[in-house]
A and B are shown apart, each in its own frame.
Chain A
């Protein structure tokens, strides 16, 4: 990037800034274009599925009334399978997707597709029970029993259906925080079993893989492609990367009561290309922690020799962090996330962090390329124990000539606000704390309800969705 010139001529400064603005704009446009391309591919995949169905004479099902149910049953099954594979790809941690939409948005879309896909596949089952029932002159239940007991591969297809229902239901329940992460994770692995169990009936009963059709090649490519992507990006690369970098804990520092910073060092860490603001899924190979993996953000921009995270005692997993010893082996998946400098759409930036949410904000600030007086940092804590890493953040603000606003204290009673009672009483707001916010990128990290309140205020000020970058810590 352009180094600030010693001779501070206004003209020269202006051109350097506009050059930087252009680079950011170009990056943003490229990202938009990639996003549109990926979305288009999803629409096309559904269109191709329909086209292959029609090319195969599928329209014939819609000529006679008695075949319509069967035709709809086939179409819902085809679109459902296609979108199920799209869901798989969205969860595969493919770098191109992560760098375009961000890990959290890709998973949000994955979650959003869950219910519609389940409904499509349920419709597929029910419509074909009815449709084949009609043509055989028996009721749908008798038809289902006939399928299960007499038809090749249909019994396991029904098991797959049951597994799929289980996976979606547990996912909906865990959103309401009633199940443990580990239980949900194990159940979620069953979705692979569901996909594999459903595969044979598509060969033997359906026309998806009929010999000599284009559909055969399309579906084979889709299945092989998505399962390969999952294997590569969720298994092979994390294992290979963990082995290669040989990460071990080098230092554990208590920052505040219940808050520790863990520094890890390893080989060739530059090759990870991790950036401040990103997170990893960490697994610490100590006797009491090796079976669980935790998503923690970096709390410092990587320097090529070490990685640092700062963790607060939130759940049972985090409290064990205090007992970690230097030398402990660490394996990881990542880096993930688009809560980075890459997400910038303009030269100015506002960073808002609360509590443990300071960690990615601090690392991101360190990684950010900021001209003097272009950034504002707002830190929020509920009391004086809640201010860890603030000194480091203050030093970074000085180094980058960024404004720093600090809000300590409890929120006012009976008012929905992300501010402290004191700041609220004095009439402070996003606009008074960060006057340039309307033409800035806004990065927010903190507890989800608090984050929502900051986003609400930002939108009231007229910030657009693409300006708002919020890191969400759900899975």
Chain B
């Protein structure tokens, strides 16, 4: 290969990798250790592959009519969120104006690794949510897709319940 062509091939290859890096930088940020992500105060939604499913409106399974003063007690289904590693859906249990439990109906399970991550991440997310009384908690590193699906589904359940924190 001639020197000029080799140079162009090298620069071109570097540019391609750089573009890939740039495109992936959002997911990288959300995968940073918790403390950093928490410090920025957001649960990142930069994972662009996560397709939200707004059409899938939350349904309320609770029989109690919502009281005007706040969310009614009951169990609320979150929307089904598609992620690359499988669909995610959770239920929020509201009691006395508080989130008292989050039940995982379906978690990422596309491959074994995903199942493993789901099993690790779900309990951590549940306890964080119960502590924060909100779906706005930090991303769990290494479980970005699960986290995003989980929190998105939870948020839709809370919206359905009229829960504002």
Contacts and interface: CB of A to CB of B under 8 A. Distances in A.
Nearest to B51: A212
Interface in B8-54: 8-10, 12-14, 16-21, 23-25, 27-28, 31-33, 47, 49, 51
A212 B1 CA distance: 37
B16 A151 contact: no
A150 B6 CA distance: 46
Given A56-B27, A57-B28, A63 B111 contact: no
B16 A47 contact: yes
B9 A51 contact: no
B17 A60 contact: no
Contacts of A54: 17, 20-21, 23-24
A58 B17 CA distance: 12
B8 A151 contact: no
B12 A58 contact: no
Given A56-B24, A57-B47, A57-B144, A51 B111 contact: no
A39 B7 CA distance: 12
A172 interface: no
Contacts of A136: 116
Contacts of A213: 49, 84
Contacts of A211: 84
Contacts of B24: 54-59
B116 A57 contact: no
A60 B113 CA distance: 15
Contact of A40 (B5, B19, B27): B5
A39 B27 CA distance: 32
Interface string A23-65: 0000000001101110110011011101111111111100110
The CB with the most chain A CB atoms within 10 A, among B33, B47, B113, B144, is that of B113
A57 B1 contact: no
Contact of B31 (A57, A132, A135, A151): A57
A25 to B, nearest CB: 15
Interface stretch (A202-210, A311-319, A421-429): A202-210
A204 B2 CA distance: 42
B141 interface: yes
Contacts of B47: 57
Given A36-B2, A40-B9, A57-B27, A50 B20 contact: yes
A326 B23 CA distance: 66
A255 interface: no
B28 A40 contact: no
Contact of B13 (A36, A47, A58, A67): A47
Contacts of B17: 47, 50-51, 54
B142 interface: yes
B5 A53 contact: no
Contact of A63 (B5, B12, B19, B28): B28
Interface in A121-141: 132, 135-136
A64 B36 CA distance: 14
B115 to A, nearest CB: 11
Contact of B49 (A44, A47, A56, A204): A56
Given A54-B24, A204-B111, A212-B51, A64 B142 contact: yes
Given A35-B1, A36-B1, A212-B84, A60 B13 contact: no
6 contacts: A47-B17, A50-B20, A51-B19, A54-B17, A60-B31, A132-B113
